[in-house]
């Protein structure tokens, strides 16, 4: 099974440098750096989390969780609909803070402004906080689907979804960065190409695992 230990071994085998040069902490930093960059480039489904939030009439935004990478969707929960839980959710459209300020100060709504939720709400993100607008006059229950950064791989926690499903991405990316560490630019470029091929395949596989979902939310490679 692919683990952090096998990734350390791969770095040493491909660079031909022993553990006295590529120590465990150095290898771990290389591997976790690749993992972090992968998750910043693409929202993998395994990093999707769901949180139940409450927006009060006095709320001035809700702080985003630590490790927040991006949102999937924000839903308002209608407590009156209890027969079917799947029918309780009403998606709240996302706008920017600038759009809302322009909307508030405009004499009439811009025709390109998105349709609000069933109760007339929008949301935007600003300063690592989530805002629901216009300010609710009653407490609003929310479901926030969002992506979170994975904890780093460690000796005590040597596996995660990436080691089991996207091992080649971690391996080629870490070896690429190891050669950059050694200032061997040409060899690093060769492994950069391998990483890019593996990463493209990984994002396609992740998209295929989402049942009828929207196109993958990659942020560029």
Cβ partners under 8 Å of residue 2, min gap 6: 159, 163, 164, 167
| 180 vs 188: CA distance, rounded Å | 6
Q: Are residues 91 and 140 in the same domain?
A: yes
Q: How many domains, the chain? A: 2
Asked whether residue 215 is domain-assigned, the answer is: no
**Per-residue pLDDT reduced to its tens digit, 37-86:** 999 999 999 999 999 999 999 999 999 999 999 999 999 998 665 566 66
pLDDT in tens, 128-174: 999 999 999 999 999 999 999 999 999 999 999 999 999 999 999 99
Residues 85 and 33 in one domain: no
Same domain, 29 and 119: no
Range of the domain at 24: 4-44+154-208
Establish if 216 belongs to a structural domain.
no
Same domain, 19 and 107: no
């Amino acid at each position: 099974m692919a683990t952090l230990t096998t990734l350390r071994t791969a770095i040493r085998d491909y660079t031909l440098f022993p553990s006295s040069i590529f120590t465990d902490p150095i290898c771990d930093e290389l591997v976790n750096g690749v993992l972090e960059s992968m998750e910043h480039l693409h929202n993998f489904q395994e990093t999707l989390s769901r949180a139940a939030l409450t927006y009060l009439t006095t709320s001035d935004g809700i702080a985003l969780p630590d490790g927040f990478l991006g949102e999937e969707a924000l839903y308002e929960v209608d407590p009156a609909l209890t027969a079917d839980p799947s029918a309780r959710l009403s998606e709240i459209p996302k706008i920017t803070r600038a759009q809302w300020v322009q909307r508030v100060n405009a004499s009439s709504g811009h025709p390109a402004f998105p349709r609000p939720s069933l109760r007339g709400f929008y949301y935007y993100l600003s300063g690592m906080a989530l805002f629901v607008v216009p300010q609710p006059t009653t407490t609003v229950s929310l479901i926030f689907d969002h992506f979170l950064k994975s904890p780093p791989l460690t000796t005590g926690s040597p596996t995660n979804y990436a080691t089991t499903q996207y091992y080649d991405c971690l391996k080629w990316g870490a070896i690429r960065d190891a050669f950059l560490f050694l200032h061997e630019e040409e060899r690093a470029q060769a492994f950069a190409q391998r990483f890019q091929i593996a990463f493209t395949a990984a994002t396609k596989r992740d998209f295929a695992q989402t049942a009828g979902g929207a196109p993958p939310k990659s942020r560029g490679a």
